[in-house]
Amino acid sequence: MQKYLLAGAIALVPLAAVADPLPSWNVGDAKTRIVTFVESVVDPAADTYVDPGDRIAVFDNDGTLWAEQPVYFQFIFALDRLKEMAAADPAILTTDLLKAAAAGDMEAVAAAGTEGILEIVGVTHAGISTDDFKAEVRAWLDTARHPATGMAYDRMIYQPMLELLSYLRDEGFRTFIVSGGGIDFIRVFSQEAYNIPPEQVVGSSGNARYEVVDGTPTVLKEEGIFFLDDKAGKPVAIETRFGKRPILAAGNSDGDFEMLEWTTAGEGPRFGLVVHHTDAQREFAYDRDSAVGKLSRGLDEAEARGWLLVDMKNDWATIWPGGR
C-alpha cells in the first residue's frame, strides 16, 4: 500500500451561477428561501456558518420523497404479501380481518383502522430473516405497479426533492430519511431511488432477535412493534440516532410536526419545509381531511413558525423523474 500527497499547483476556478441546482423548482419564494438558507450555512465568512459535521438534513419519506396515495405503499406490499402467503398456506388467516384482507375486502380493512394495519403488518413482516424480507420487498417493487399511475412504486419519487437532496449533499450536508415507515422496507430502495445508503435510514422497526440458525447467524423479524417513528417518536428517534439536532427537516404531514418543531427550535440557522399536496392533476391534492398524510396543524402553523410551505402545484415545474 502506498500513500500519496497532493502536490503541485491547484487553481480555483469559479463556476459562478452557471448551474441551477434546483431546475425542477419554479423561480419564486420557495426556491429562493431554500438557496438563501443553504448559502448562509456554507459561507465560512457568515456568522450563520455551520460546520459540515453539523449539516444534517432529515426527510420524511411517505408523501415527502415519494407518493403515499391512495394508501402507504408499504401497506399495499403487506396486502400483496398476505395474499401470497395465504395462497401457500390458508391457515395463516387466523382472524376475520386477515381473511377479509386476503380476499381484497378493502372496506373491512379500512374499518379496522390503525389496529388493523398493525395486525396485517405484523403477520406479513414477521417470522422471516431481515435478508429474506428485503429480497421479498425487492421482488415486489420490481413487479408491482401503482393502481392509478401504472408506475413502479419506487419511481413515484419527487424530482424536485431528488434535486434538493443532491443539492444539499453537494453543499456538504448529510441527508437522512426519518420515516414512520419500516426501516427494512425503505432500505431496499433508498440507495437507488434517493442516493441515501441503508445506514442513513431511520424509521419504525419491529421486534427482532439474533439467532444462529443451522449454523448461520441470522437476525429474525418478530411480531410486535419495537419503535414507532412517528409524531413525538421522531424527535426521540433523532436524539437516539444522532445525539444532536439536524439543521433542516422536511415533512408533509402532521406526523412530521414534532420533528420540524424539534429541528427548528435549535440554536443557529434552521430550516423547516412542509410539502403541501396541491396538485390533483399531476399527483394528488389532499391535506386536512385525508386519511393518509393528514396535514392540519402544520398547515395552520407553518407560516408563524417560519417553515416553508411548498405548494406542489405552483412551486414544482415537474413532479416525477423524466419530466411530468
Which residues lie near its own copies (CB under 8 A)?
A: 1-16, 19, 38-39, 42-43, 53, 56, 130, 183-184, 187, 197-199, 201, 205, 208-212, 216-217, 219, 232-236, 239-244, 258, 261-262, 265
Residue 128 one-letter amino acid: I
Please identify which residue in the block is written with the cell numbers 383502522: 113
Least distance CB 3 / its own copies (angstroms): 4
Give the containing element (helix H, strand E) for 161.
helix 159-170
Our CB check for its own copies shows the closer of 15 and 91 to be 15
Our CB check for its own copies shows the closer of 93 and 183 to be 183
Our CB check for its own copies shows the closer of 54 and 105 to be 54
Q: How far apart are CA 95 and CA 225, in angstroms?
A: 19
Q: How far apart are CA 130 and CA 118, in angstroms?
A: 18
Omega cis (within 30) before 160:
no
Our CB check for its own copies shows the closer of 92 and 128 to be 128
Please state, in angstroms and as integers, the Cα–Cα distance from residue 300 to each residue in 83, 221, 249, 306, following that order. Answer: 41, 39, 18, 12
Our CB check for its own copies shows the closer of 129 and 296 to be 129
Please identify which residue in the block is written with the cell numbers 449539516: 55
Task: Give the max Cα distance, the chain.
Answer: 74
Least distance CB 217 / its own copies (angstroms): 5
Please identify which residue in the block is written with the cell numbers 426527510: 59
Our CB check for its own copies shows the closer of 64 and 263 to be 263
Our CB check for its own copies shows the closer of 78 and 201 to be 201
Which cell is 224 given? 410486535
Least distance CB 245 / its own copies (angstroms): 9
Q: How far apart are CA 62 and CA 65, in angstroms?
A: 6
Least distance CB 108 / its own copies (angstroms): 33
Least distance CB 14 / its own copies (angstroms): 5
Tally of CB atoms within 10 A around 21: 17
Which of 246, 139, 126 shows the shortest CA–CA distance to 189?
A: 139
Least distance CB 306 / its own copies (angstroms): 14
Least distance CB 107 / its own copies (angstroms): 35
